[in-house]
Amino acid sequence: EPLLPYPAERGIVQYLTAETHSLGSRLTVIAARKDHLQNHLDKHGLAPDCVTTVPLALAALTKIFPKNNDPLLIMHIGEVEGSCVLVQEGKLLAARSFELEKNEIHKAVLAIASAHKSKKRDSILLLTEEKKLAEFVEEATGKTVLLPENTISQANISKFALALGTALASTSDDLPNFRLQDLPSPRLWKRVRKPLFTYFVCIAALFGSLFGLEQILLRNHERTLYHRYHALAKLVGEDGPPPKTHEQLYLALKRLEEKVGSRPDTFPLLPGVPKVNDLLAWFSALPQIVDENGETNIIIEKLNYTMVKKPDLSQKKEHYLVRVDLEFSANNPSLARGFHDALLAPNPMVSPKKEVTWGSSNQLYKTSFFLKDKTQYTGI
């Protein structure tokens, strides 16, 4: 504070860490008077988002230079004065401004070299496209002058270097910006308006999607409940209009479930599958076995009628399942194929839900199929 030529409360003071070592840190302090800064902006009718200094802009400009960990001595020549900065890894270590005279240029370079003897540089990167100016600086400093190559266009580089550096500084959180304290940019709201709008649109879309998904799940759940209601109503023999409201539906389901639960826990003892005589009677009616003249074209050599599954006390929900294994002979293969097609075609005996197997050996045909189950079960 004693180094400032004006009270601290009348200025904007910011700093950045230039170096850190075991004994502490070296800071670079940047200060500007608030009224001078505001008058400068008002005079030119400007409302920028970022206000920085020439040295900081030159330091930020190194972001577009080829990556280099060594210190870099950069010089910029303006219309009235010039600036010389020492930058390392994008951090401003030292800065000097000078008038456009050889002696002043030499003093600025010498002052930076004296303050940072361990970072002495034998060359200067001059931001210009004029070779005569490069020769002038080289003569004034006694150092090799380098011109930027393959970084930004050399044309008008001295004119746009500070603008580019300021733009790059505005994107960095490490470099001071005088607009972030007592003189905020009036356009900050415009900068965040579009991201905020996008954010709220995304939030609205997300909530809309979640609401739509919730409605779909609720409708599916409601449909499942109505299916269960109709199944229970059919089981207990109730016939009437379904409940209209959710509350009525839940009450009706509770009543029906209690009614079903109070019924005896039994299982059907009489299977509703075709018997052997029913199966043989159906065979005799097939034209492939007995033709119109009463002649037998297919002779059943062997018939095995097996009840594979049935309900009992340990498995009350099991259903009856009967498999028929049949061996027969036929007068010709076409009759055997016709009999096989009759088993596959819709009929009152063979279950279409199970597989019909088929085979032949030594003029003997074998087939296996399951019978339809028409048993009335009390379970759901």
Residue 144: which CATH number?
3.30.420.40
- Separation CA 243–CA 249 (nearest Å): 5
Q: Do residues 39 and 179 share a domain?
A: yes
1 located within any domain:
no
- Half-sphere CA count of 21, side-chain side, radius 13 A: 5
Q: Do residues 68 and 206 share a domain?
A: no
181 located within any domain:
yes
Q: What's the structural domain count of the chain?
A: 3
Q: Do residues 103 and 171 share a domain?
A: yes
Q: Do residues 211 and 247 share a domain?
A: yes
- Separation CA 233–CA 242 (nearest Å): 9
- Residue 154 gets the label, from left (phi > 0), alpha (psi -120 to 50) or beta, of alpha
| DSSP, residue by residue, 275-307 | -HHHHHHHHHT-TTTB-TTS-B-EEEEEEEEEE
**Among 202, 227, 261, which residue terminates a domain?**
261
375 located within any domain:
no
- Separation CA 59–CA 22 (nearest Å): 25
Q: Do residues 97 and 30 share a domain?
A: yes
Residue labelled with tokens 């860490």: 17
Closest CA to 52 of 181, 151, 242: 181
- Separation CA 266–CA 123 (nearest Å): 102
In this structure, what CATH number is given to the domain that contains residue 296?
A: 3.30.70
Closest CA to 146 of 156, 155, 133, 159: 133
Q: Do residues 201 and 152 share a domain?
A: no
- Residue 378 gets the label, from left (phi > 0), alpha (psi -120 to 50) or beta, of alpha
Q: Do residues 241 and 348 share a domain?
A: no
Q: Do residues 163 and 243 share a domain?
A: no
pLDDT 10s digit of each residue in the chain, 380 long? 566 777 777 878 877 777 777 777 878 787 888 888 888 888 877 777 778 888 888 888 888 877 788 888 989 888 788 899 998 888 888 889 999 888 988 898 899 888 888 887 888 888 876 778 888 888 888 888 887 765 555 555 667 888 888 888 878 777 777 776 666 666 656 667 788 889 999 999 999 999 999 999 999 999 999 999 888 888 778 888 888 888 888 898 898 888 877 766 677 888 999 999 999 999 988 888 887 787 888 899 999 999 999 988 778 888 999 999 999 999 888 989 999 999 999 999 999 999 999 998 888 999 999 999 999 886 54
Closest CA to 127 of 140, 102, 110, 145: 145
328 located within any domain:
yes
Q: Do residues 342 and 214 share a domain?
A: no
Q: Do residues 240 and 314 share a domain?
A: no
**17: DSSP letter:** E
288 located within any domain:
yes
**Among 186, 211, 228, which residue terminates a domain?**
186
Q: Do residues 245 and 325 share a domain?
A: no
Alpha-helical segments (H) within the chain: 34-44, 54-61, 102-115, 131-141, 157-170, 188-236, 246-261, 276-284, 333-344
270 located within any domain:
no
Is residue 59 helix, strand or coil?
A: helix
- Per-residue HEC secondary structure of 103-120 comes to HHHHHHHHHHHHHCHHHC
376 located within any domain:
no
pTM of structure: 0.46
- Separation CA 30–CA 296 (nearest Å): 115
Which residue range(s) make up the domain with 292? 276-370
- Separation CA 158–CA 126 (nearest Å): 9
138 located within any domain:
yes
Q: Do residues 75 and 109 share a domain?
A: yes
- Half-sphere CA count of 295, side-chain side, radius 13 A: 5
**Among 126, 154, 186, which residue terminates a domain?**
186
| Cβ proximity of 307 and 322 under 8 Å | yes
